[in-house]
Every structure is written in C-alpha cells, then in structure tokens.
Amino acid sequence: MKKLFLILGLIIFLSPRTEAQPPGSTNLRQLQSYQDTLKELGFKIVNDSIEPARYNAGFRFIRTLVNALKVPYSFNFPFDSLKTVSVQTSSDKRFRIFSWNIMNSDGSYRYYGTVQMNTPDGKLTMFPLVDHSSEFENPADSITTSDKWYGARYYRVISVINNVKDPYYILLGWKGNTVRSTKKVIEVLHFKDGQAFFGMPVFDGDKDHPAQKRVIFEYSRRASMLLNYDPKISTIVFDHLAPPDEKLKDRFELYGPDFSYDGYRLNNGRWKLVEDLQLKNPPTDQDDNFNDPKKL
C-alpha cells in the first residue's frame, strides 16, 4: 500500500503545470481553501491511530498540496497555518522547501517533501523529494538528486551565498528513526543544470575524519539534542553526544548529550569542526519542537 501511495503521489507531482496568471483575490481565496483542507489532512497524518489511514491522508495531502502550488504566484502564500508540515524559505527567496513525515506502526518514519522555486512569472517549478533513506549505504558520503533523497523534516535553512563560487544552502533537519533512536541531519542543497542536488563535501572534521557531504547524528529516542545555527559566530552548534559508558561505544540508540557543545564554523565557504565550544546562551530557536511531531 505504501508503494502504491508513493507511485500515485509521484504521478501527481510530475503532472503538467498550470500557466501563470496575475495574482488576485481569486487566487488568494483558492489558496486559503486549499490550506484549510491541508490542515485537516495534516492532523490525520500525525494523529490517526491506523497506519493505512495515515498513508491515505498522506496521499490526499500530496494531491491537495500540488494543486495549491499550481495556483499562480503561490510562492507568495505563506501556508503558515500548517502546523504538521515544515515550510522553510531561503533568505534570498530563491526557493522554499516543504517537508513532513508519516509514522509507521513499527515506530519508523517515511519522509515526504518538495522544493518550490520562486519564478518571476508565477509558474510552478518544483523538485519532488522521494525518500530513499533505507537504501543509503554511506549517507555521510553521498551526493544525490531530489528523486533519491535522504529524507528529513527540515526546520532551518542557512544560505551560504556570499564569498563563495557556487552558492548553496544548509538544511537542519529532524529525522525520527526507530522506536529506540532518533537522528538529526545537517544537509546541503544546491542547484545545478536545472536540478536540485543534496550533499556536498564542505564539512571538515579532524585528521581522522575526512570531509563529509552531510552530517548525521544518532542518539536515544528518549533524549533531546540541540542542533541549530548561531549567526553571531557563524557556527552550527550542537550537543556533543556520548554513550553512558565507554563499553557501549557505537550503541547509538543509547547516546545522549554530555553537557558539552561542538560546532561547525563557516570559513571561506567551508565548515570547520570546532570542539568544546563555550556557550553562555546556546541557541534553541524552535529546535526542541522537532523531537516529536505529535507535540506540535
């Protein structure tokens, strides 16, 4: 059933796009109506107790969202009433990204999303995101297109567009994993030749850790992890994760914060690992809201 919903969703995502028209009150009323429907479906996606019902609501959500985005100049409509879906816009207004998840009965998740580009003529240009998380052998060292996405629910976009040859964007995301562990992700999004790519080797670790294309953290589902950006020091700040005992090393489902902080600091378009950051007021923003979507 999940595969059927995914195939149907992709057919709708890739269907012909609507011709642009000047923005007006009619378009606004259409978008408000679509938003009301999306709110109801989003609630079912998160709260319905039956897995097939959640996926059925998810399929209907995809169809409704695509119809909404086909409305001319929909990029200017904020969809700010959607609390079960994350909508994040880049600071240069080049794109915005929708992302959400559906929980399976076994406590795992499947992720959905799309990147909507901001077009001058109001026509819809987007890159549907297809979750292939389970097929990644080494996700920290992979560059993929939008149709082979390492799914996550993003809660922040950081634009790296100054003093770099090829502008790119950092996405911070929550990635519920299993009944025992949770993940968070530092992702990279960039555009080239009319495609959206995820992953880029811009994260420099220590001598034992070569440059990574994305950074992934895994820790106990019972724990809460800080992962956010502090613009004052141009640094992505995160909790240092550790096992409760050295004998439990690499048992990531048991890892949790050890009350110290590390970070990736931006320098000439690259991110250098900095350990043992001294933070008086570490940034929290809305980071904790993304440990459990049901708390929204």
Domain segments of the chain as ranges: 132-288
Instruction: With beta carbons less than 8 A apart as the criterion, state whether 276 and 261 touch.
Output: yes
User: What is the mean predicted confidence (pLDDT) over 68-77?
Assistant: 96
Global confidence as pTM = 0.86
Written as one letter, the residue type at 287 is: D
**21 to each of 126, 127, 260, how far by Cα in Å?**
18, 21, 53
User: Does residue 208 register a pLDDT over 70?
Assistant: no
Q: Which residues contact 43 (CB under 8 A, 6 or more apart)?
A: 84
Q: Which of 2-6, 14-18, 57-61 has the highest mean pLDDT?
A: 57-61
User: What is the mean predicted confidence (pLDDT) over 74-78?
Assistant: 96
Q: What is the pLDDT of residue 20?
A: 40
